[in-house]
Amino acid sequence: MNTRVLTGITTTGTPHLGNYAGAIRPAILASTQPGVDAFFFLADYHALIKCDDPARVARSRLELAATWLAAGLDPERVTFYRQSDVPEIPELCWLLTCVTPKGLMNRAHAYKASVDQNAAKGVEPDDGVTMGLFSYPILMAADIVMFNAHKVPVGRDQVQHLEMARDIAQRFNHLYGSDFFVLPEVVIEEEVATLPGLDGRKMSKSYNNTVPLFEGGAAALRAAVMRIVTDSRQPGEPKDAEGSHLYTLYRAFATPEESAAFRAQLEGGMGWGEAKTALYERLEGILAPMRERYDALMAHPERIEEILRHGAARARAMAGPALQVLREAVGLRNLGAQAADKKGARAKAAKGARFVSFRDADGSFRFRLLAADGQELLTSQAYADPKQAGAAMKRLPAEAQLRATGDASYAVQLDGADVAASPEGTAAGTIDRTRDALAELAQ
């Protein structure tokens, strides 16, 4: 079975050299590996949370799409689409919103950071906080589980959002009684290159220290490289290659052998001006062919539009049927079919006992055993790990040992230890119903 990997790119800016080395290049390389089913999307709904400049969002959508395609993304091999072209995603976002506890969103890092900043300013805690910012993790969860992605590569700052996506998907699965969603696996990008900028700090537009990728052409690239800060050592003096961010940049775009040769030249006294020229030529040799493709795409945005619409059609071919199943699950059903199935559905519901999972306010996981008529028969102990709770549920029907603990109360054991107990106020004879329910599930 292929592994489905999903990556989203927020459309709020123009890519620079650090974006290419840290995200674009490794993601495109990963998409070419055998057994990988890759989904790449422009997260333009997410952009509206961060940016209220329509022109900037529109320009960024075009530039980002052109950049990824120019850098080698194959739209025939991957599913490449705009988030806003798949209406099933915001509809799913609402379904997930309706099962997501507000307390979970209260703990989101971005929201808490805004509240802390407001507290430091002495203003209302929610001043300037939009519902887009507050519920951002739910939209991210919809992006991921809409296509049942197995793996989502993220930086450490996004790990919490992936954990929330798992929580939300699991809650929906438990509430509606089926494994509708795959629980996505967090892939932390430890090896992603973090390039230094012109001043040695992390390359970021926030620091105004970036090296342009395509913007401004070769002249802008050369001008940026020549502004890289170096020490005062003169030509002929040995340079500290490891301590030079100019060498770090060169190494990110060269083979180990080429990097070793460049390092030897620096340590042998190469002047900084000559070293910068060598870096520029190295970068230009790599970027020039991509820039040519980028310029051709930017000159014909209709080509990009066609590619994105084709990708959206592929995405919707999967999202549409999946969402219809979810609509049925929550009760948004065809009325004619509902009338025809009502009798059968009631009969089916009346036949079986069932387990229902839930999560406590403290974050721990539990489950209940309900009789066919909805009577609560058992409540489990708390588990820190949902997998442990699930394993106990699977074992109970065949392996449980019931023991009386009072006139009508009882406990259930696995391996000699109590794992669940009767609810308070249990009526006499309920232990027999519990035994029958477990036997039924065992069959």
Could you list the residues known to form a binding site for ATP, using ranges.
10-12, 18-19, 155-157, 195, 202-206
Annotated binding-site members for L-tryptophan? 143
| CA atoms of 322 and 148, how far apart (whole Å) | 10
Residues 6+ apart with CB under 8 A from 424: none
Q: How far is CA 55 from CA 58, 60, 133, 205, 208, in A?
A: 5, 8, 21, 18, 21
| CA atoms of 413 and 403, how far apart (whole Å) | 8
Annotated binding-site members? 10-12, 18-19, 143, 155-157, 195, 202-206
The answer to whether 263 and 247 have CB atoms below 8 angstroms apart is: yes
Query: Letter for the amino acid at 8?
Result: G
Number of Cβ atoms within 10 Å of the Cβ of 179: 11
DSSP string, 75-120: TTTSEEEEGGG-THHHHHHHHHHTTS-HHHHHT-HHHHHHHHHHHH
Element (H, E) at 412: strand 410-414
| CA atoms of 121 and 380, how far apart (whole Å) | 46
Instruction: Decide: helix, strand or coil at residue 418.
Output: strand
